[in-house]
Amino acid sequence: MADRTTPGGDTVAGIGEFGLIGAMTEGRAQPSTTLLGPGDDAAVVAAPDGRVVATTDVLVQNVHFRFGWSSPAHVGRKAVAVNLADIAAMGAVPTSVLVGLACPPDTETSVVTQLVDGMWEEAARARVGIVGGDVVRAEELVLSITALGDLGGRPPVTRSGARPGDVVAVCGRLGWAAAGLAVLGRGFRSPVGVVNAQRSPEPPYAAGPAAAIAGATAMIDVSDGLLADLGHLALASGVGIDVQTDRLTLDQKLVDVGTALGADPMRWVLTGGEDHALAATFPSYTDLPEGWTRIGTVLLPDTGVTVDGRPYDGETGWEHWR
């Protein structure tokens, strides 16, 4: 890593490509699944199952995050979390992450190092390694994260396996990130717990493999909103789904924020994304794994997603380019 006291060392242009890569990777601990980490043309990651689950996601400054609202460390954590949640939603255990970073040459080196600190913090929470990636010049800061996972000998849990009569269940928080976004949009920075849910979500990584072991028939990461994502699952499975609001718990903090902002907290729970909870369907006779809560039922085809037996009035979640 370049000396911060040297001319130009406080920007990525000054530190240079390889100095920046060094700052992102040197001195970081890797898990046992990383057989060969950063430093060569490619990494080598163990795949005990013989299959690799892979996903990628892109976060663009001022579209998916704002440094006025989130610290670089928050953004780094979020970038890793949203990808690892997709791995968990397949019933897999996350193993490693690859990072693509594009940024302007005058980006402060400290911004990048804090971003990377956040990435490594979240990677450690999930017990995965950051094994490689790329850095390039761009007009704005963009993060592209690729995550890999291992199925442990199990079949993947896709979106297309739900069957009429299955129960619908969730694990993780719902509505918190949407509430945090509403708070930030009004110019406030508290309550911190709600705001931080938007800044850096905490997906329940272990819940995905646990659901797979318990016999989940279909699963999805709740990134766009509960109703929207259950709609994706229902479409893929060719079924309908009914969500029962009396089974959805409204935390008092969400109620308090909703009262303060004149908003309906149940709408955040039903349609707010970015919490990265997991939603899954299970056979009706299944004992749900710890942390999972039943919230609805899988119905016959062509009924869509309903709430308390009726079509939902309003947008069901986030849509890109809308």
Task: Please indicate if the annotation marks 159 as binding a ligand.
Answer: yes
Task: Please indicate if the annotation marks 56 as binding a ligand.
Answer: yes
Task: Please indicate if the annotation marks 86 as binding a ligand.
Answer: yes
Task: Please indicate if the annotation marks 321 as binding a ligand.
Answer: no
User: What gap in Å lies between CA 52 and CA 69, rounded to an integer?
Assistant: 35
Task: Please indicate if the annotation marks 41 as binding a ligand.
Answer: yes
Task: Please indicate if the annotation marks 144 as binding a ligand.
Answer: no
With 0-12 / 13-18 / 19 or more C-beta atoms within 10 angstroms meaning exposed / middle / buried, residue 71 is: middle
User: What gap in Å lies between CA 119 and CA 106, rounded to an integer?
Assistant: 21
C-beta of residue 154 within 8 angstroms of C-beta of residue 208 = no
Task: Please indicate if the annotation marks 70 as binding a ligand.
Answer: no
> SS3 for 3-69, per residue?
CCCCCCCCEHHHHCHHHHHHHHHCCCCCCCCEEECECECCCEECCCCCCCEEEEEEEEECCCECCCC
Peptide bond preceding 155 in cis form (omega within 30 of 0): no
Task: Please indicate if the annotation marks 320 as binding a ligand.
Answer: no
Task: Please indicate if the annotation marks 274 as binding a ligand.
Answer: yes
Task: Please indicate if the annotation marks 319 as binding a ligand.
Answer: no
C-beta of residue 270 within 8 angstroms of C-beta of residue 243 = yes
C-beta of residue 194 within 8 angstroms of C-beta of residue 183 = yes
Task: Please indicate if the annotation marks 276 as binding a ligand.
Answer: no
What is the amino acid identity at position 103?
C
DSSP labels, 257-284: HHHHHT--HHHHHHH---S-EEEEEE-T
Task: Please indicate if the annotation marks 55 as binding a ligand.
Answer: yes
Task: Please indicate if the annotation marks 10 as binding a ligand.
Answer: no
Which positions make up the binding site for substrate?
A: 64, 274, 318
Which positions make up the binding site for ATP?
A: 133-134, 159, 223
Which positions make up the binding site for Mg(2+)?
A: 41, 55-57, 86, 134, 221, 224
Which positions make up the binding site?
A: 41, 55-57, 64, 86, 133-134, 159, 221, 223-224, 274, 318
